[in-house]
Amino acid sequence: MLAKINQAKPLVHCMTNYVVANFTANGLLAIGASPVMADEIEEVADMVSIAGALLLNIGTVNSRTAEAMLVAGKKANECEVPVVLDPVGVGATPYRKNIVSQILDEIKIDVLRCNEGELASIYGATWTSRGVDSGDGDMDTIQVAKEVASKYQCIVVVTGETDLVTDGQDIIQVHGGNIYATRITGTGCLLSAICAAVLAISEQPMEDLASTLKEYKVASKQSGEELGTFQIEFINALQRIAEGWQ
């Protein structure tokens, strides 16, 4: 799937957080996509209207960017541009939860890309949040993911040791990966952006998203165990897969 993105080179409008913006842009460029990071409310509607997909990532959301996300999301719906929501740390504070609720109420999203803790918060399951990390709790993740997908009429992608993709009925599980990917910033946020790139070109999104998750896990396995060089090697691995070096 990364090779298909490399051929199509979709424009992905990323409204993301400042912690990961550079890594996200470089990761998209590595697979041949074109990133744009516009979040000024005066231009987001114009920008999303020419994009292949829109990413809404609330990692460092504030009142200005939240309003801009709503404007961009509504314009994306109007233009039939697919939308990916990454509800980073939604369970950490009431402010985040309120913003995610507003996005889900006012914007038709196509993919919700989250970890287990974020899924639990959106669903309303009991879960102990640790900031923006997944945290701890006990729930039937597959069943909850299906219910959330059905409620919002979207595909839910839950990432972790085993990734899940569901449209509310079917479920695909993807195994593998590298634990060191969880010890640097940005791997989940970049994945959400790549999911947006998939939606920009896909005619069978569930299958293509699952294929992308598998390639993403392969790239992480190839990136070593040294945190200082992990991001560099990860970008290199994504490029190799996208350009067909392996």
How far apart are alpha carbons 227 and 223 in whole angstroms?
A: 9
pTM: 0.95
How far apart are alpha carbons 89 and 116 in whole angstroms?
A: 11
Angstrom CA distances, 205 to 4, 118, 124, 211, 233, stand at 13, 22, 27, 10, 27
pLDDT tens, residue by residue, 192-224:
999 999 999 999 999 999 999 999 999 999 999
Alpha helices in the chain (DSSP H): 2-8, 21-30, 44-49, 63-79, 94-106, 116-123, 141-152, 187-201, 205-221, 227-242
39 closest CA partner among 63, 9, 23: 63
**Domain residue spans of the chain:** 2-242
237 pLDDT higher than 60: yes
How far apart are alpha carbons 246 and 244 in whole angstroms?
A: 5
83-86/11-15 β-pairing: unpaired
Instruction: Determine whether domain 2-242 maps to CATH 3.40.1190.20.
Output: yes
User: What is the pLDDT at residue 136?
Assistant: 59
pLDDT tens, residue by residue, 85-138:
999 999 999 999 999 999 999 999 999 999 999 999 999 987 665 555 555 567
pLDDT tens, residue by residue, 22-31:
999 999 999 9
